Amino acid sequence: MSAILLIDDDKDFSGLAAAHFSKQGHAVTLAEGGREGLDKASASRPDIVLLDIMMPDMNGIEVLRELSSDPDTSDIPVIILTGKYIDPGMGDMFGQERNFRGVVAKPVDLGMLQRKIEELLAK
């Protein structure tokens, strides 16, 4: 099916999501932080990136901006995952990045996220 890069420092969630999407036929690569995620995105060029906002080494906003500004990764759609409230101003800030495709609140409904990924990849 497709290659998914999940950048999230929550190992429990990452393991659960990786198992779910692998069962659906996707190839899932995990990165525990922003720097590692950027390196893996450049090396593997996934079909989609699932990106947590709150990470210790580099926040998701910084990662999103770097992915968007790099010609090798700027066309990869990114879905933000967060357990924090996103106010309209933050949503507008994300929307300025060309590869931003939406926000999904944690705890994540994996079935809903699966449908969102399928919609994005069908375009």
Q: What is the pTM of this model?
A: 0.92
Q: Minimal CA–CA distance to 93: which of 80, 106, 75? A: 80
**Rounded-to-integer distance, Cα 118 and Cα 105, Å:** 18
- DSSP 8-state assignment for residue 44: H
pLDDT on residue 35: 96
Q: What is the pLDDT of residues 6-55, one digit of tens each?
A: 999 999 999 999 999 999 999 999 999 999 999 999 999 999 999 999 88
pLDDT on residue 82: 84
Q: What is the pLDDT of residues 69-111, one digit of tens each?
A: 999 999 999 999 987 656 655 666 676 778 989 888 888 999 9
CATH class of domain segment(s) 3-122 = alpha beta
Classified as helix, coil or strand, 103 is strand
Q: Minimal CA–CA distance to 106: which of 34, 22, 6, 37? A: 6
Do residues 61 and 78 lie in contact, with contact meaning Cβ atoms separated by under 8 Å?
A: no
